[in-house]
Every structure is written in structure tokens, then in C-alpha cells.
Amino acid sequence: MLEKLISTIESYNPQADMQQVIKAYNFANQAHEGQLRNSGEKYIVHPVNVAIILAELNMDTPTIIAGLLHDVIEDTAVTYDTLAEKFGKEVADLVDGVTKLKKLEYKTKQENQAENLRKMVLAMANDIRVIIVKLADRLHNMRTLEYMTDEKKKAKAIETIEIYAPIAHRLGISRIKWELEDLSLRYLDPDNYYDLVEKVSKRRREREAYIQKIIEILKEKLGEMDIKSDISGRPKNFYSIYKKMYNQGKAFEQIFDLTAVRILVDNIKDCYGALGIVHTLWKPLPGRFKDYIAMPKPNMYQSLHTTVIGNEGEIFEVQIRTYEMHKTAEYGIAAHWKYKEGNVKSDNFDDKLTWLRQLLEWQADLNDPREFMETLKIDFFTDEVFVFTPKGDVINLPDGSTPIDFAYRVHTAVGNNCVGAKVDGRIVPINYKLRNGNIIEIITANGSAPSRDWLKIVKSTQAKNKIRQYFKQKDRDINIAKGKEQLEKEIKRLGYKPADILKDEWVKNVASKISINSIDDLYANLGFGNISINQVISKLREYYKEYFKVTDEAAFVDSKIQQPQQKKKNKPNQGIVVKGVDNIKVRFSKCCNPVPGDDIIGFITRGRGVSIHRTDCPNIGSDIGYEERLIEVSWDLEKKASYSAEIQIKAIDRNGILAEVASRVTESNIGLLSLNARTNKEKVVTINMTLEINDIEQLKDLMRKLRKIKNITDVYRVTA
């Protein structure tokens, strides 16, 4: 085995340091001493085969040595430091990288997480060679999978087809991709796999002579045109036939490109030359020609594909490409090492770089591309970090994320109740920066809450939004409580029982009147100060009056209210114009005491002239037949007159309050016709005043002044 390894390396890299390879073999052999594989073989068989696969990919010596040593950190007592000391940091880092990737294999995986897992595998390896060693490791394990339990076979096969084969494909290493796919299929769908193998080999035997004849014809024609070439028949891999059959619902017999004829030539010019010859010899099938030379595939695969109809009506595919393209097709990114280690300096180095950059979906700016190439460090997803839940689900977060970001990703409640976190089993600070492959366990406590400082720590927008949302909600809750408390306090102060006046239905109506959706929103707005308490209370009071059928709410504060003595002050006709009527007797109604500025209407009485009411007076328009006795009237503003108006004041009693009220009235040059004050048990004083005023503005002005007096809570006009 060691000999096979050495001869394979020598075949492409005679200058390789074989002493180091042999030293690594001996070291690994000793480290794994006593360990057996499931097959019963000595363990060393596995790492040597992995190294051979790497040598077949023409990998550099450190990668092959890492292949020999890839299991020693994980499975034996050997440490990173020992490896670094004996084989150098480069090899030790590679082995360490493979060891880290290994830990991924023990997680449960969900189908929809495949893409995340693929990214994670790529993100966890900081050197692309780590992934290539990993692929070689997986390939050999898949080749020897038969010794595993059925359950394990299936799990490995699923993981391989979902994670590792696509990675190999992405890196352009089709040689490994095909084998991984076929091996997986063998364990995932054994019946169809073996059926397919049989059909394919039967068909191939049937066609072998035919394909051989085609190759002969091609060789001759290409030779005539001076095109140097290698021509071979190339079987398709089983998995791609299988996929075609099941994805496109085709029968095996309908798949005609089972074998492709492959022509390898020296240069691009010869590719198109060969294509011309093929199309001259046989008729091309329409719509089947593909120029991947002009338009390479995303993994940089280049080739000409055409399907033609042979002389005997047989359909077959022809692939034409240069040796260089072929190497890329088979080895993908691994083909690059030829340039790194070999003496051949590629003259189109920058093209290679573009190739690699595209291949890796490299997006960040490369300031020093050469350095990047030399170190071969990869950074596929610099802006993302991939971590596990304790159940093994992969979660991707922005780079720099913390356990808090993780917690909010899992669930809002987990985030809000997060009090700490364990990473890989150890308690970490809440601002710990998550690293690829970490297993995160969030510690929560019911009733605990986020801190505003978290906004400075978290990285993901999701976590930020959720924390902000939490505080917005919390502020709202506080405002609701505050608003409700203020309202109740005011209600009590005015002498009501909150339970009597704060009826849900009424509060809801009040809210909708000022375009607020819910009771809570109303309280929140009160608490925040968006709306005034008086605004709400005055509306509630209307419902209250209506409900308890009272016209004077003071009755509920004090058992009895004494109506002030109304003196007849208004002279007939004074200050009023009655439409269409001259010199008619008018009187002001006592029920609503209209004053200039109020909207008014006249009511023709029987024998007592026209009585003037406010248009909003409840005594107007309530009886049938009254409408025809209504008459339009207006204020005659040129005539000076005085009118009586009654107001009511609510206040918390204190010494001297009445004197202050009275002095405001006299200061305003308003006549005070009557004043009545009562105090109830809760020290709420109700003051009723009848005033002699000239117009509504004068009254409003006085009411404004009265409201400013200390302890006065409300001033309003009273309609009897």
C-alpha cells in the first residue's frame, strides 16, 4: 500500500519529499496501533487509502501527509503540538481542520438544512485543502461502507449525497463527485441501483464494438486533418442516469447518452476542428449542441457537447475538450496544485485566480490576490457564522453574532428570557462571539427580561428588532397602567365611583370617537400624554348622565341642588332679529339661557311672543308639530344688551376659593346674579353661578380664568 502511494506520488511529482511521507506513514501506523476498522483490517489501511486518493488528485505533499495523519488527533493520544513539532504547522493545521469537520458528522440533519450544512463545512475549513482531505476521507469511507450497520449506511449515504457530493461538484472535482453519488445511491436505493448496474453493463457490452468502431473512424479522420487527439468511450455515472430516469420520468431505454465518446485535443482551435469533423461524419441531433467552452459552467467546466445519429441509427454523445479543460473537469480546484508545486509556472495566473474566485463565489475585495493564492486560505462566507442548536440543527447568523442573536433566532421568548448561554458545554459571557461549529445552549429564566444594553451587543437585525419591540411593548404596558391610574384618580376626585363611569362600552365609544382602536390604546395614549384626561372624562360624563337619566350631574355629588334664583333681566326684542317680523315680543328661554354667539332658534309661543332657545336645547324639536312653530332668529349685534348665563364649577375645597371665584367675576365686569356652593364628603365643592354677560366671548374668557384657579377642576355651562 505504501508502495502504491509512493509510486502514485512519483508519477506526477518526482521531487516530492518521500522521507516525510514515509515518516508520516510510520507515525500514523504507530499511533493507530491496535485499532481495527469495522472490516477487521488494521486501521492504517484507511489513512493510507485516503492519501492514495489525494495522490491520484495530484495533491501537494503536505496534503498527502495530512491525509495519512488525518485521524490521529481525533482517534489517538497525539496532539496538535506533537504534529506541529514533527511535521510542521502547515500539516498540523490541515489535520486540525479535518478533525473539526469530523464533529459535524454526529449531528442530526434535516433535509432543508443541506445548503446551510454545505456552507458550514466550507466555512469551517480555512484552507481548501482541508475540504479535499475531507472528501478523500469520505470517499474511502463510502467505498468501505458495507461493514457498517444498515442504519449507519443510510445516514452516511444521505449525508454524502446532500453535503459532500455537492461540495465536490462545486469545487469541480467531478471524479470524486461521481463516485460519491454512485456509492450513495447503492445504499439509498439498492434495488434500483443494482438493476441499473446490470442494464448499463449489458447495454455497454452490446455497444462496445460499435463504440470502438466509431473511435476508429474518428481517429482516422482527425489524423487526416493533423489533429492530435486521445479518444475514448466514457460511461456516464449511475446516479446521473438514475436522476434522469426519475426526475424526467424516462425509461432506461429512452436514455441514449449512456456512453459518450470523448475527444481530447491540444488546443481550443482543434476542439472546433474536431467538432466540424464529427458533424460531417454524422448528423447532429437538433438542440443538443452545447458550447461550454464559450460559456463555461459555474464550476468552470469547459467542453463541447454534441449528440449525433450514427450510421446505424444509434444515438451517441461526443464531448470535445483540451487536456487542460479535461483536467479541470476531473479535478476541479484540485487541478490548481499542479501550478503551485510543479515547476511549470502558469502564464495565465490571473485567469486561474478569476477561476478560483468564481469557483468560491468569492465576494469580498481581494487586496492582495497573490498572497491569497499563496496561503490558500479560503473564506467562503466571511459574513456568516454557522452554529448548532443542542438538537443539531444548523443556524446561520451574521459574523460577530452573540448567544443573544442565537436565542432570538430560536424563538422570541427564548431571547426575551435569556439569562446566559453555554457554548460547547461551557458557560460563556453573553457577548461571546459565536464561532463556526459551536453548539449553543441558551439558559432562560421565566420572567427575566432583555436589557437595553443588548442592542449594542447583538449583530442580527432580527434580534435588534425583537429587543426594540420588547421595549416598545413594555413602555406601552407602563403607559396603559399610568393612563388608567390617572383617569381613575381624576374620576374619584370629581366625586364619581370609577366603577360607575368607567364602563368598558363607554370607554370604547369614547376611544372610537377620537379614532383610537381599543381601550388599552386609549389608556396608553392617556399615559403617554397624547390626549387629555378632561377630554375623556367630559365624554364619559355624557354617557353617565344619559345612563342615570340626570340632567344635572351635581345631584350625584350632592343630594340636592338648589336652583339659583333666576331674575328676569332680558328685555323683549332686545338684541334679537326675528326673520320677517318686526317688533315682536321676544323672551329668552330659561331652560338654556342663550347668549350672543350661541346658535339660536325662535319658538312661537301661544300669546307670549317668540321664545329664544339655543339650537342644541333639548326642549326644541322634541314634540311633534313643533317644527312649524320654529322661526329663524339671529343676534342683533349692534344693540348692547345683557343676558344671563349659568355656569357650574367643580373644585377641591380650600380656604378662600369662593372669594377668588367672585373676584374673577367682578374683574371681568360681569354681573353676578346668584352664587350657590356646596361641599360633599369627599371635599369636592360644587359652585353654581348665574352671571349677567354681554356675549359668549366674555363668558368663555371668564371660564378660562376660572379654570386657572388653584384646585378648580372643571368649569362648564349648565343647561337647566
Catalog residues that contact Mn ion under the rule CB under 5 A.
Answer: 71, 137
Q: Which is nearer to Mn ion, 46 or 466 (CB)?
A: 46
Strands 586-588 and 610-614: parallel
Shortest distance in whole angstroms from residue 228 CB to Mn ion = 42
Write down the least CB distance from residue 59 to Mn ion, Å.
16
Q: How far is the CB of 57 from Mn ion (least distance, A)?
A: 16
Tell me the CA distances in angstroms from 231 to 216, 279, 384, one per residue in order. Answer: 9, 16, 45
Q: Note the Cα 575 to chain centre separation in Å.
A: 72
Residues ≥6 apart with Cβ < 8 Å to 643: 569, 570, 575, 588, 593, 594, 595, 596, 692, 693, 694
701 labelled catalytic: no
Pick the closer one to Mn ion by CB: 137 or 646.
137
Q: Which residue is nearest to Mn ion (CB)?
A: 137
Cβ at position 144, least distance to Mn ion in Å: 10
Q: Is the dihedral of CA 408, 411, 412, 418 positive or negative?
A: negative
> Which amino acid does the sequence have at 221?
K
Q: Do 57 and 132 form a contact (C-beta atoms < 8 A)?
A: yes
Evaluate whether 438 touches 424 at the Cβ level (below 8 Å): yes
- The helix or strand, by DSSP H or E, that contains position 397, with its residue range, turns out to be strand 394-398
Amino acid letter for position 142: M
Q: How far apart are CA 126 and CA 147, in angstroms?
A: 32
Smallest separation, CB 180 to Mn ion (Å) = 15
SS3 per-residue string spanning 314-343: CEEEEEEEEHHHHHHHHHHHHHHHHHHHCC
| Nearest to 524, CA basis, from 509, 511, 540, 505 | 511
Minimum distance from residue 137 beta carbon to Mn ion (Å) = 4
C-alpha cell of residue 476 = 406601552
CA-wise closest residue to 633 among 699, 584, 591: 584
- Taking Cα atoms as reference points, which of 84, 86, 107, 104 lies closest to residue 94? 84
By C-beta, is 107 or 700 nearer to Mn ion?
A: 107
Q: Which is nearer to Mn ion, 43 or 506 (CB)?
A: 43
C-alpha 548, offset from chain centre: 54
Nearer to Mn ion, 5 or 308 (CB): 5
Per-residue DSSP letter, 587: E
**In the complex, minimum distance from the CB of residue 69 to Mn ion, in angstroms, rounded to a whole number:** 10
Distance separating alpha carbons of residues 227 and 78, to the nearest angstrom? 55
Say which of 10, 41, 75, 182 is annotated catalytic: 75
Of 176 and 540, which has the nearer Cβ to Mn ion?
176
**Secondary structure letter of residue 373 according to DSSP:** H
Contacts of 504 (CB under 8 A, 6+ apart): 519
- Choice between 95 and 595, CB closer to Mn ion: 95
Provide the CB-side half-sphere exposure for 563 (13 A, CA).
Answer: 9
Compute the least distance from the CB of residue 205 to Mn ion, in Å. 37
434 in Cβ contact with 403 (< 8 Å): yes
640: amino acid identity, one letter: K
> Which of these is catalytic: 74, 291, 384, 714?
74
Residues 6+ apart with CB under 8 A from 240: 178, 181
- State the Cα–Cα distance between residues 606 and 103, nearest whole angstrom: 104
Closest to Mn ion by CB, 71 vs 127, is 71
Distance CA 536, CA 526 (A): 9
Q: Is residue 334 within 8 Å of 56, Cβ to Cβ?
A: no
Q: Which of 71, 692 has the CB closer to Mn ion?
A: 71
Question: What's the min distance (Å) between Cβ of 98 and Mn ion?
Answer: 8
Identify the bridge partners of residue 475 per DSSP, sorted by sequence position: none
Mark whether 75 is an active-site residue. yes
Nearer residue to Mn ion within complex by CB, 71 or 90: 71
Shortest Å distance, C-beta 60 to Mn ion: 20
Beta bridge partners of 671: 692
What are 518's three cell numbers? Answer: 381599543
Asked whether the beta carbons of 581 and 632 are under 8 A apart, the reply is no
Q: Which residues are catalytic?
A: 74-75
